[in-house]
Amino acid sequence: MIPDINLLPKIEKGTTSLKLAFILVGILSILTLGLLAITYFSAKGEIASAVQERDSLLLTRDALNAEVASSQTGSQGSLEESVAFVERVSYSVSPIIMETRNLLPTDTYLRSYSFSETGVQVTIDFETLNAISTYVRQLEKSPYFDDVQVGTIQNFEFNPTGEEVNETQQFTEVPRYSVRIYLVINQLHVAAGGEE
């Protein structure tokens, strides 16, 4: 048998594969560190903007708390002050309602009224624009009111149900107007008792 003699040096394949593993671990470490650095800096920027937003919200909260505290202390009054205010503002409404009704022309309808500290707002339905101007002139002459302010004038809907209307029905209906008027009350005249 022939002996196997190899005079060439042995090449170890394990060292190259170990080198390659170290290179791969190094690249993965560098990529991981880069990813962590990017995440860190983006989180740091988001934290800075969140801190600024939190500070502005805290300032807004403090301002609103101060406003609430000032309104609560300003609105609290004694019972005597409340009674004095009601006595100063209160007035008899019956003569005012009677005056607005007595001055109404025929074929008109007082739909609603609402009182405030200084006046009354009435909503009235009229048949013609001429009747509106006549009523406003009479209100201006009335001693119960200091000022008359006409708010809105709106037409009624002729056919709210949507039914078909023939020509004779169309001409028999007269358009109506809904008017909102604000009347400033003459406090001295009403306090004196008015003309009942």
- Which of the four CATH numbers 3.30.1360.100, 3.40.640.10, 3.90.79.10, 3.40.50.450 does domain 91-159+169-191 have? 3.30.1360.100
64: how many CB neighbours lie within 10 A of its CB?
A: 10
pLDDT attached to residue 196: 46
Which residues on adjacent β-strands are paired with residue 191? Answer: none
**d(C-alpha 183, C-alpha 190), whole Å:** 13
pLDDT attached to residue 32: 96
Q: Please name the helix (run of DSSP H) or strand (run of DSSP E) that holds residue 110, with its range, or none.
A: strand 109-115
Q: Residue ranges per domain, the chain?
A: 16-61, 91-159+169-191
Phi (first) and psi of residue 93, to 5 degrees: -95, -20
Q: Is the pTM of this model over 0.95?
A: no
**d(C-alpha 106, C-alpha 126), whole Å:** 9
pLDDT attached to residue 6: 76
Q: In sequence order, what are the residues at sequence separation of 6 or more whose Cβ sits closer than 8 angstroms to the Cβ of residue 181?
A: 121, 122, 123, 124, 136, 139, 148, 149, 150, 151
Phi (first) and psi of residue 189, to 5 degrees: -65, -40
pLDDT one digit per residue (tens) for the chain, 196 residues: 677 877 777 766 556 677 888 899 999 999 999 999 999 999 999 999 999 999 999 999 999 998 888 777 655 566 777 777 666 666 777 888 888 898 988 888 888 988 887 888 999 998 888 888 999 999 999 898 889 999 888 887 655 565 666 666 555 556 788 899 999 988 888 777 665 4
Please give the DSSP secondary-structure letter assigned to residue 103.
Answer: T
The residue type at 152: T
DSSP secondary structure string for all residues of 152-175:
EEEEPPS-TT-----HHHHHHPPP
Q: In sequence order, what are the residues at sequence separation of 6 or more whose Cβ sits closer than 8 angstroms to the Cβ of residue 187?
A: 91, 118
